[in-house]
Structure 1
Amino acid sequence: MKYYSYFLLLFLGFFSCKTEKKQEPTSSHTQKLTHYVNTFTGTDGPGNTYPGAVLPFGMVQLSPDNGLPGWDRIAGYFYPDSTIAGFSHTHLSGTGAGDMYDLLVMPINSRFTESLTPDGAYRPYSKFSHDREKASPGYYSVDLLSSGIKAELTTTQRVGFHQYTFPKDDESQIILDLGYSLNWDKPVDTKITIEDKQTIVGYRKSKGWANDQRVYFVMQFSKPFDAAQLFNQSEEVKKQTVEGTFTKIVAHYKTSEGEKIKVKVALSSASIDGARKNLEAELPHWDFEKTVEEADAVWERFLSKITIEGTEAQKELFYTNLYHVFLTPSLHSDVDGAYKGADGENHVAQGYNKYDTFSLWDTFRATHPLYTILAQKETEDMIKSFLSHYDETGLLPVWSMAGNETNMMIGYHAVPVIVDAYFKGIPMDAKKALEACVASANENGRQIDVYKKLGYVPTGEHHENWSVSKTLEYAYDDWCIAQLAEALGEKEIQKTFAERANYWKNIYDSKSTFFRPKDENGNFTSPFVAKEYTKEFCESNAWQYFWFVPHDIDGLIDTLGKERFTEKLDSMFTYYPAANDKLPIFSTGMIGQYAHGNEPSHHVAYLYNNIGKPWKTQEMVRKIINTQYSTQPNGYCGNEDCGQMSAWLVFSSMGMYPINPAEGIYSITSPYVEEASINLENGKQFKITTENQSDENQYIQSMTLNGEPYNRLTIIHKQIMEGGELHFVLGSTPTKTD
């Protein structure tokens, strides 16, 4: 692997004078880190997050649904709304996919008489107000204003736990609605069986973005219900079991003032028996407060993987984003290892946790590299999950969820995740991993066959041809395979994929100095306007995809010449769209043509380091942090995307980012926080410390590593894992090298 050796022209001694910090005092070390997390961040605007109860990488995401469909409600909840239809147990975090929302539970009573929306599949049951709503990691509560019921939620890994505090009412009810669906999600087969007056079991099978979703459940009530009604569609079924597309159960109670009824809902993708085992293993008691405390403790442990010093606002921003990093992937296997596989059959994960919900087009860039530092055991299990997907389908996952392959987005980006993990020493079956990588890179679908034949993907008639983007991303993944093959002594494989790694050059147009679409005959297509959104670019334009050659930045610079490359990089951040420009989808967080709201741009600000202008990286990274992130409900400028938007913030706040996600090298910038201590799983600690940290002092004046002058603009993964201290002296004036 290449190690970039650009040097800063730095003063090697520390500055004797320090600027006065214009920041509020740091908080007490005794404050719990969960205190700084705002789970509502991203629930407004394009973030598409949810505020409910979940554990790190948990199977259950128990969260309120507003009950209304639409783009803004992809995660079930939209902050500007004022209605709640219930609390469902599965949600996607920060995606553009309207799926999940399984097992909607809702308490109501005789006080509810108002029809909030026309009757139908999305009919909300209660009004609510944000001033009567609270949430923290692993906990959510809200007062349901239409009924006077207080709803509280917490969770274990596989069991959702509800606590409802009722007013006095002879007609209190708890509803489980398996027919409820939103957006792309549609039930195809549901079943409820009453085992006794405190236990019901069943399943919900559905299709949507993922075509074959199965959620088996066991649901227990702390208090026996007085009576229960089963429904198929709107017709009552007077039996102990109901089966159909739209089924529900209504459990009836007479409640006294302040009476609490608790509900436990255990999930499984494999079977009702699996759900029962999960319930018995994880939540054998009815102590709600204890479960809340345990959930908070789990989150505190995960958030404590990095401890920072800085202002209260910086801590809130940092830990809110670190929280979102750990929401996905999702646990998919039961306590005994059983899970529904991508082949539609049940399997058993032997000796590891099976994970799913892999938004790999997003998360390979920074989220998974961050996991190799903070969550190595989980990363090992994620790689095993990839390989089990390969066993079941013959391919690595592209964008998998709920035991399905959605084939959403492009590339075969499980490859860089595997290769990065391998070179960082994460245990894996490397021979099998290479076999799986090669198989995924040689499938005949997704235009890989023509890519291999022509050396690029040609444009076509399909409205999402994405030919330029595919060529660039396939070439990068091929470079990753070549590195793994070389390390394993597979010379022929290495040679083949090293050649394919250069295919990015086949679509470069020296006249326009952009990557351009080509037809099958090798001709560039016209007309071509770099800033316009066309079908050949995946959610981007030619400006945004120009920089995606992360494995050969030096080659890209040489192709243009350093001067032209520098001019183009400057223009990336200054060439703003006109009012009538046809912008790509997800063109949010715009700074010139740079779109922080979508992933292809995420590494671009760091490229100034590669041309010896590090002060420009320092300026731009700080600008992005200050303008594109907050802890408000609209605090994300784009889809949060299963941790990628947050991982960028976490890395950049500490002063580093992986331009090439599979190289184990982090490009350096000035830290946003005063201090960050990474508490490594090997028992060591890597500290990032600063002098003169302030809003004005964003420029690196000098650095030391373990007390010795450090002049590189990169730091390697091994250096971090060995522990130590990277110290920055910051100032208000750029330290320039030209």
Structure 2
Amino acid sequence: MKNKIFTILLGIISLNLFAQNYSQYVNPFIGTGGHGHTFPGATVPFGMVQLSPDTRIDGSWDGCSGYHYSDSVIYGFSHTHLNGTGVSDYGDIMLMPTMGEPNLDNKDYSSKFSHKNEKASAGFYSVKLDKHNIDVQLTTTKRVGYHEYTFNKAGNANIILDLNHRDKLLEGEVKIIDNKTIEVFRRSEAWATNQYVYARIEFSKPLKISKKEVNGKQESNFFTGTKLALAFSTQVKKGEKISVKVAISPTGYEGAAKNMLAEGKSNDFNEIQKQAVADWNKELSKIEVKSDDKDKLTIFYTALYHVFTQPNIYMDVDRKYRGRDNKIYTAADFDYYTVFSLWDTFRAAHPLMTLIDKKRTADFINTFIKQYEQGGKLPVWELAANETECMIGYHAVSVIADAMAKGITGFDYEKAFQASKNSAMLDIFGLNAYKHNNYISIDDEHESVSKTLEYAYDDWCIAQMAKILGKKEDYQYFMKRSQNWKNLYNPKNGFMQPRKNGNWLQPFDPREVNNNYTEGNSWHYSYSVQQDIPGLISAHGGKEKFEQFIDAIFAAPDKTTGREQVDITGLMGQYAQGNEPSHHIAYLYNYVDKPEKTDAKIKYILDNFYKNTPDGLIGNEDCGQMSAWYILSSMGVYSVTPGLPEWQTTTPYFDEIKIHLEDGTTKIITKNTPKTELKKLGFENTKSFKDFKYDELTAAPVIAADRIFDFSTKVEITPLHPSDKIYYMTLDESDANKRKTFKPYKEPFTITKTTTVSAYAERNGEKSSFVTANFNRRPNHWDITINSKATPQYFATGKLALIDGIYGDVNWRKGEWHGYQGQDLEAIIDFQSPQQITHLSSTYLQDSRAWILMPKKVEYYASMNGKDYILLKSIDNTIEPKDEVVQIKDFSTEILPTEARYIKVKAYYFGKLPEWHQGAGGEAYIFVDEISVK
């Protein structure tokens, strides 16, 4: 009897807990302005449907979610949206109510609106469409969107269904089931290049097709095409309401019908809205914070709301889902999800979930494992059964390692480990060079510094899994790889610096944003050794010097140089709260025994960079990461190293915080809670596992000389650790048949021929990877004048790069090309004396998506005096600008023997990007590399 009473009391406590209205503090408009990229529409926690207005259909940067607070026109209401991403997608199954004569042109069916007639709350959105005085209300279940349209005038009412809304329609289909029911299939291409959505739409009253735009099959009840829009119409009285229910599915019409049957039965809009609010309160109540400041409560609970907006359930009520191989599967014992922005969310959003939602964490990992089994690898940035390959690293392994380290069960540890190991052993995105050389250089892959550092952290995560599973050899292998950051740490300046041709890249500016870093610069990445902060401190020379280095990022000028990068926002010096690579840096003061500095920085960020306004996020929300940082930090904890079962700490922001855990216990945090308690919050009983010994990595030496030289150059080889011994070997054209061996390096030496130099370092019997550098004696003694201005990021090694005999490859981000935007290229080669010429060529690159297009034509001119030129040949381009294959074309020609001292090359740039291009109106680039004359 006592047990029954206790169970009843627990139930009452639980009901009271969930009955508290935390959703009242949610303001979905936070982040819809500025660069937050959130949407204000209706959704439920982790729901498949995000039913929201679309004010942007152009794929613009600040329109990634489909909505921006600065806009005043609504095009319609679609059922899928992304929360705070940096790339535009979704916006599926768009409906728009209008009145009068129907029109399928979005410029006509769109409507002005005013924010004063717009409301948004957890699970609800409403707005008045000014054009025809129509009131719209939206709410949802997990898989069904509920619309209620009130027509405030009598007349002809229309509901527009436009399948060409936002992204590119690859296949469209509409089936008329009856005069109140239709089925829709939409396969589209944007960021997710092959996205499937099925829908069942039910109207509350009969409607008939009044207008259609179809470029495919047309029957009385069946329409297909890549251009497909229909208007459904009826007469309405003043004040009449039409309700619409839309069930969506990733698997098929049957799935949509089952979802409708399970979640679309109700005709009571208010009932569904109340249930959505209850769903939100259940999730939001997991963390209770107390404050007299309502804005603080709103910021906190909206942050929690944004974290719970994704990942999204991606299976039907019968548990069927579309796998990564496009086949249909059934999730027997877990829930299957989509939308994994892992480069962002591994840092805080997923660690937060390990604290308050272990069950979903296990479901996420089970989803990862299935995606590995069906798609060949763990997700990087997965969206709607598509791998977008966006961002870098293989950070699913961080989520897995963190869960395993914290004792979360419900998934197969061995399968998860094998999937993780597979990601690390692929030969993509610079991994091949990384595995063989222990770092990535500019010569190997773009964003080489960021990739090296993030792969190294991920390798540490795999090592932690191996330790838990008792896999000694795997642990040792991946722990050694996790030290690869040492190959890019320049001990002379303390920065993570790119390496090119065996040497450090010069000139070097840590503030420069360029293609060697991912959405950042060296300041942002020089602290990205989360797996070995003590090792980084030691490399800097101890805690005092490392403290000074942390101070330096906050004291640096708050302007970046190099490429404009819209993601870098919220600058405190060079620290950028608006982008993820900086998110752990303020906590590093804890490691140098200066927690008061951590407290001060964190409080400043909490006070100043999160506000209860539409522009209240300092950067992209990024699928909950920006908000998860706020939640954890305001609770007094942060995971600097996911995969390590402990938190770094700061002073809690609220007077009292209650965390209700899944095991029924409650953790209470106050400003007086000892930091030793906070460090293990929620993971007090995690196991410790036996450590295996592993080898320390010896960093590869640096080889410096002139890459291109006239007669001779001096070669200097420098170790990155003072105790290292250096061994080297040289090869030139005269050594073709000679057996060469490495010899000890004692001092700089001179070379006079085109030479390859290889070297390695050795310390305590451990050899570094081999470093190879090529130094080329100039193939000519020509001079070149360039009468166009290159973009500073794309000027290779200077003007001589166009005549040095070294050709760039299709990965132009590696820096071997010259780039000229919005202008023709004109270059003049001076042979120094007259030469006989029979062959001319120059090579150009096209990467249409990156605004780089082939020149319209290339002209070659000859002159004896450098003033009077005659046209030798004009070559027209033959490659279509719409061709998105990254490719190189040699504009070469044979000519009759001609004597000249000067050759002029003129390449005519494409012009402004046309309407079909995502960057329409922007100026195209010309990318040129080698000019050859024979």
TM-score under structure 2 length normalisation: 0.69
What amino acid sits opposite 1:489 in the alignment? G
Counterpart position of 2:426:
443
Q: How is 1:453-532 mapped onto 2 (pairs within 5 angstroms)? A: 453-460=436-443, 465-519=446-500, 521-532=501-512
Is 1:167 matched with 2:152?
Answer: yes
Counterpart position of 2:811:
none
Counterpart position of 2:84:
94
Of 187, 193, 196, the match for 2:169 = 187
Conserved? CA contact 1:56–1:299, under 8 Å:
yes
| Cα distance in structure 1, aligned partners of 2:626 and 2:673 | 29
Question: Does the residue aligned with 2:289 lie in a helix, a strand or coil?
Answer: strand
Question: Does the residue aligned with 1:194 lie in a helix, a strand or coil?
Answer: strand
| Cα distance in structure 2, aligned partners of 1:265 and 1:229 | 21
| Cα distance in structure 2, aligned partners of 1:580 and 1:420 | 36
What amino acid sits opposite 2:656 in the alignment? E
Counterpart position of 2:341:
359
| Cα distance in structure 2, aligned partners of 1:123 and 1:459 | 50
| Cα distance in structure 2, aligned partners of 1:659 and 1:168 | 58
1:581, CA displacement in angstroms? 6.3
339-348 or 147-156, larger mean C-alpha shift:
339-348
Of 114, 118, 135, the match for 1:150 = 135
Q: How is 1:110-509 mapped onto 2 (pairs within 5 angstroms)? A: 110=100, 125-181=110-166, 185-232=167-214, 237=218, 239-310=220-291, 311-427=293-409, 428-460=411-443, 465-509=446-490
What amino acid sits opposite 1:435 in the alignment? Q
**1:720–1:51 distance in 2 versus 1, CA, 3 Å:** farther
Counterpart position of 1:105:
95
| Cα distance in structure 1, aligned partners of 2:23 and 2:480 | 48
1:198, CA displacement in angstroms? 0.7
What amino acid sits opposite 2:512 in the alignment? E
1:238, CA displacement in angstroms? 5.4
Conserved? CA contact 2:98–2:109, under 8 Å:
no
Question: Looking at both structures, which has the greater relative contact order when contacts are Cα pairs under 8 Å and sequence separation is at least 6?
Answer: 1
| Cα distance in structure 2, aligned partners of 1:365 and 1:590 | 19
Conserved? CA contact 1:667–1:715, under 8 Å:
no
**1:80–1:386 distance in 2 versus 1, CA, 3 Å:** same
What amino acid sits opposite 1:431 in the alignment? E
Question: 1:231-280: per-residue Cα shift (whole Å, max 9, x none)?
Answer: 315x9945211100121221111111211111111111110100100110
**1:345–1:621 distance in 2 versus 1, CA, 3 Å:** same
Question: Does the residue aligned with 1:215 lie in a helix, a strand or coil?
Answer: strand
Question: 1:145-170: per-residue Cα shift (whole Å, max 9, x none)?
Answer: 11111100000001111011112433
Question: Does the residue aligned with 1:497 lie in a helix, a strand or coil?
Answer: helix
1:460, CA displacement in angstroms? 3.4
Count of residue pairs the alignment pairs up: 667
Counterpart position of 2:23:
34
| Cα distance in structure 2, aligned partners of 1:682 and 1:629 | 32
Counterpart position of 2:825:
none
What amino acid sits opposite 2:515 in the alignment? K
| Cα distance in structure 1, aligned partners of 2:146 and 2:297 | 29
Question: Does the residue aligned with 1:450 lie in a helix, a strand or coil?
Answer: helix
Counterpart position of 1:45:
34
Conserved? CA contact 2:340–2:380, under 8 Å:
yes
| Cα distance in structure 2, aligned partners of 1:121 and 1:632 | 30
What amino acid sits opposite 1:560 in the alignment? H
**1:124–1:624 distance in 2 versus 1, CA, 3 Å:** farther
TM-score under structure 1 length normalisation: 0.87
Question: 1:189-212: per-residue Cα shift (whole Å, max 9, x none)?
Answer: 000010101100020000111111
Is 1:535 matched with 2:500?
Answer: no
1:122, CA displacement in angstroms? 6.2
Is 1:574 matched with 2:555?
Answer: yes
| Cα distance in structure 1, aligned partners of 2:281 and 2:240 | 31
**1:487–1:123 distance in 2 versus 1, CA, 3 Å:** farther
Question: 1:264-321: per-residue Cα shift (whole Å, max 9, x none)?
Answer: 1111111010010011011212111100000000001110000110121211111011
Conserved? CA contact 1:226–1:254, under 8 Å:
no
**1:250–1:597 distance in 2 versus 1, CA, 3 Å:** same
| Cα distance in structure 1, aligned partners of 2:197 and 2:603 | 44
583-592 or 35-44, larger mean C-alpha shift:
583-592
**1:90–1:711 distance in 2 versus 1, CA, 3 Å:** closer
Question: 1:638-695: per-residue Cα shift (whole Å, max 9, x none)?
Answer: 10000000000000111111111221211111111111100111100001113xxxxx
Question: Does the residue aligned with 1:515 lie in a helix, a strand or coil?
Answer: coil
Question: Does the residue aligned with 1:678 lie in a helix, a strand or coil?
Answer: strand
**1:425–1:579 distance in 2 versus 1, CA, 3 Å:** closer
1:449, CA displacement in angstroms? 1.0
| Cα distance in structure 2, aligned partners of 1:557 and 1:424 | 26
What amino acid sits opposite 1:189 in the alignment? E
Question: Does the residue aligned with 1:151 lie in a helix, a strand or coil?
Answer: strand
1:425, CA displacement in angstroms? 2.2
**1:123–1:365 distance in 2 versus 1, CA, 3 Å:** farther
| Cα distance in structure 2, aligned partners of 1:721 and 1:677 | 21
Counterpart position of 1:617:
598
Structure 2 unaligned residues grouped into runs of 5+: 1-16, 688-934
State the percentage of identical aligned residues.
Answer: 44
Is 1:545 matched with 2:491?
Answer: no
What amino acid sits opposite 1:537 in the alignment? Y
1:228, CA displacement in angstroms? 4.7
| Cα distance in structure 1, aligned partners of 2:513 and 2:678 | 34
1:704, CA displacement in angstroms? 4.5
Conserved? CA contact 2:18–2:285, under 8 Å:
no
Conserved? CA contact 2:336–2:363, under 8 Å:
yes
1:431, CA displacement in angstroms? 0.5
Counterpart position of 1:726:
none
**1:373–1:265 distance in 2 versus 1, CA, 3 Å:** same
| Aligned CA-pair RMSD | 2.1
Name the larger-Rg structure: 2
Conserved? CA contact 2:137–2:149, under 8 Å:
yes
| Cα distance in structure 2, aligned partners of 1:456 and 1:579 | 26
Question: Does the residue aligned with 2:165 lie in a helix, a strand or coil?
Answer: coil
Conserved? CA contact 1:192–1:201, under 8 Å:
yes
1:410, CA displacement in angstroms? 0.3
Of 67, 78, 83, the match for 2:68 = 78
Q: How is 1:697-736 mapped onto 2 (pairs within 5 angstroms)? A: 703-705=672-674, 714-719=679-684
What amino acid sits opposite 1:366 in the alignment? A
What amino acid sits opposite 2:263 in the alignment? E
418-427 or 590-599, larger mean C-alpha shift:
418-427
Question: 1:477-510: per-residue Cα shift (whole Å, max 9, x none)?
Answer: 0001011111101111111101101111111111
Question: Does the residue aligned with 1:64 lie in a helix, a strand or coil?
Answer: strand
1:575, CA displacement in angstroms? 0.8
Structure 1 unaligned residues grouped into runs of 5+: 1-27, 114-118, 691-702, 723-738
**1:178–1:74 distance in 2 versus 1, CA, 3 Å:** same
| Cα distance in structure 2, aligned partners of 1:633 and 1:339 | 35
Conserved? CA contact 1:172–1:254, under 8 Å:
yes
1:716, CA displacement in angstroms? 4.8
